[in-house]
Amino acid sequence: MNNKDEQLDDYRSLQLLDEISKNHELTQRDLSRKLGVALGLINSYLKNLVSKGYITVSTIPRKRYTYYLTPHGFTEKSRLTYRHLQNFTTLYRVARRDFRNLFMKLSGSGPKRIAFCGIDEVTEIAYLSLKETGLELAAIFDAEPSKKGFLGYEILGFDDIKRIDPDIIVITSFKSDDVLKDALLAAGVDAARICSIGSGGWLKKIEGPAI
């Protein structure tokens, strides 16, 4: 397993431990939906966490399972949380710089209506950087649309891209950078209209281990 895979595994483990600590009645399907991870992978991660002694499993009626954090699990969750916060500080600095440079370049090259694609830790960083340049945020797209919205914007699906017709779509997710780019291309978006400060290299930009 390479370093990037280990970092992703740590992040997924933290997400699972956090969700289980808040609600032990979540099913594997619930966790899959909440985290946007395939059901088979959720099953694999849970088995790994059980084998390490971080969670226990109890059977309830109707062949359902409940998951509980063990004392070791709470300790591991605290460790991963602390590590994640340290890495997020570095991620914030790197992403803030790179988004600012990207939007300054775009502001001087013609395109004015910018859309974001992807929701995670860096989306708000991208928004703060965009507001400094006077560019317009036309919409936010994601593989999972939501009327709940983000930063006051409804999260739209890829079917809405043609209707909104932004000049440029900026990928604002460091976890799903390549996946979102492929999805945009599949939706018929011209590659020239897609911008990313990641290009598969987010973690390489961050000094030290990152989650």
Average pLDDT of the chain, as a whole number: 82
Residue 87: C-alpha distances to residues 6, 92, 169, 177, 210 (Å): 14, 9, 26, 18, 5
**Residue 102 falls within a domain, yes or no?**
yes
Q: How many C-beta atoms surround the C-beta of residue 200 within 10 A? A: 11
pLDDT of residue 52: 92
Element (H, E) at 118: none
pLDDT of residue 203: 41
Residue written as tokens 């409940």? 66
CATH of residue 21: 1.10.10.10
Element (H, E) at 174: none
pLDDT of residue 55: 93
Band of pLDDT at residue 135, cut at 50, 70 and 90: confident
Domain, as residue range, for 9: 3-69
pLDDT > 60? residue 204 = no
How confident is the model over 138-170, as pLDDT tens digits? 999 998 888 778 888 899 999 999 999 999 999
Please give the structure tokens belonging to residue 91: 């991620």
pLDDT > 50? residue 211 = no
**Residue 124 falls within a domain, yes or no?**
yes
How confident is the model over 15-63, as pLDDT tens digits? 899 889 888 888 888 888 888 788 888 999 999 999 999 999 887 666 6
- 120 compared with 3, residue with greater pLDDT: 120
Count of CA atoms in the C-beta half-sphere (13 A) of 152:
3
Single pTM value for the model: 0.59
CATH of residue 168: 3.40.50.720
- 208 compared with 88, residue with greater pLDDT: 88
Residues 14 and 61 in one domain: yes
Count how many domains the chain has.
2
**Residue 39 falls within a domain, yes or no?**
yes
